[in-house]
Amino acid sequence: MTEDYLRTPEARDSEKALLGAIIINPSILDRVSIEPERFFDIGNQQIYRAMRSIGSRDLDIVSLSEVLDRKGKLEGVGGQSYLIGLPNACPQAYNFEIYERIIRDTSIRRFVIDTAGGLAKSAYNEQADITDAISQAVSALVQSAKPKGGAVAMKEFIEDLYGEISERAENPMLIHGLETGLKDFDKITHGLQKGEEFILAGQPGTGKSLLAFQLGCGMSERGRAGAVYALEMSGKAMVRRRLSAITKIPTYNMQSGVDMNSRWENLNRGVEELDTLPIYISDATDWTTLQLRADLSRLKQQQGVEWFVIDYMDLLVDNVGKDRNEKSEYLSRQLHGICKDLDLAGLVIQSLVKQGYGSTPSMSHLSGSHKVSYDADAIAILSEDEKEQNVVNLIWYKMREADGKRALKLVRVPGFPAFEQYTKQRNGYNDYTK
């Protein structure tokens, strides 16, 4: 019992598991902030330093072995066989945050033991200034307990803000976020903002998914890469609807083949237009928020994505909470964290409870926990216009920095899956994207 109590805290298994997780998914390297000195095992410490020097984009077993070999440290860490065995030492790569936390915790404990030992020596040494020794020890212990992402002096934020204002003053823009091409939408939001979560909800049949993908296409048309996670609709169906909108070829004809022979030239032009857009789509149905974080980190690193769409929140499969409310609370918190931590604009589709179907819906009609509305930076809800056919109202119920109009009308293009600007002209409606 006494021997266990006096044993130096270490976490070799967690160290190997974290290194293995990074080899399995190199993008994890961009999401851990632990310092190499936190590793107890010197070999693991050297491996982690080598990983950092290579970077997530180029990291694999071969590059890692070569870097360690050039530094004369490959054999010292256990050779290539040790590196090859690291992935097998990792039970689950998506638990990397747990491994990192354990490594950090044992490192702090070792530091506390060393600091306390130094203070004890000063206490035995009657020639030492004990008051100074206590002050230094307390300061060191408090600093060691600072959590990841702990509070920093406000001047750091002031410097960042001042730099941002100066940069934008040199190139003033009315829309300082990610432009979607929907002019009135961009005027209200100033474009979708990176680091923020935008929840889009609406009554059934109002076109939430359609609008979200149209906004995504608008951003990508302006060179802003993004990702769409279509948990409900197939990727092919989503692309077909957009192709129909820009070519004015009904989806029925695309699916049935009827009257297509005279439309190939138009179709090919539309295909070429969509083919150039930097959009990455997944229609897998088994995504968790942890997997989303990993995939978006990879896409940001490799493809430079700046936004993502989740269609929709309730279909994420995280196995958490005792009921739907607890699960939605967890999902909301995780998605907001992804936006903030990865500096991405997140457009998340959320459902309404049945009470919001027959009347003008409000924020209180969002399904799940009320904390969903607390986490979101902006919330807008689609509902059918009671007076005009094919018109829907998009009303903002929450905006972090609102300054003016909070609602607009959208027109569903008759016969085609797209929205247009609500501006009546003699010849119909003007397209938002023109």
In a domain, 116, yes or no: yes
In a domain, 209, yes or no: yes
Same domain, 132 and 210: no
Residue 385's pLDDT is 85
Model confidence over 279-317: pLDDT tens digits? 999 999 999 887 888 788 888 878 999 999 999 899 999
Order of strands, sheet of 419-421, starting from the edge strand that comes earlier in the sequence: 279-282, 226-230, 307-311, 345-350, 197-202, 378-384, 391-399, 407-412, 419-421
Same domain, 123 and 244: no
pLDDT band for 427, please (50, 70, 90 cuts). Answer: very low
Domain boundary among 144, 174, 196: 144
In a domain, 174, yes or no: no
- CATH number for 215: 3.40.50.300
Model confidence over 363-373: pLDDT tens digits? 889 988 888 99
Range list of β-strands (E), 252-293: 279-282
Say if residues 196 and 380 touch (Cβ distance below 8 Å): no
In a domain, 415, yes or no: yes
d(CA 111, CA 123): 18
In a domain, 65, yes or no: yes
Number of domains forming the structure of the chain? 2
Same domain, 382 and 233: yes
Same domain, 132 and 11: yes
Range list of β-strands (E), 260-344: 279-282, 307-311
Same domain, 207 and 138: no
Model confidence over 164-192: pLDDT tens digits? 788 878 877 777 889 998 888 998 888 99
Range of 53's domain?
2-144
d(CA 373, CA 180): 23
Say if pTM beats, i.e. exceeds, 0.75. no
In a domain, 365, yes or no: yes
Same domain, 70 and 192: no
The per-residue pLDDT of the chain, averaged, comes to 86
Is the pLDDT at 332 greater than 70? The verdict is yes
Paired sense of beta strands 197-202 and 345-350, if any: parallel
Q: Supply 397's token pair.
A: 């119920």
The DSSP element (H or E) to which 420 belongs, if any, is strand 419-421
Paired sense of beta strands 391-399 and 407-412, if any: antiparallel
d(CA 150, CA 131): 28
Residue 94's pLDDT is 86
Same domain, 216 and 328: yes
In a domain, 161, yes or no: no
Q: Supply 178's token pair.
A: 């990610």
Same domain, 40 and 97: yes
Same domain, 231 and 138: no
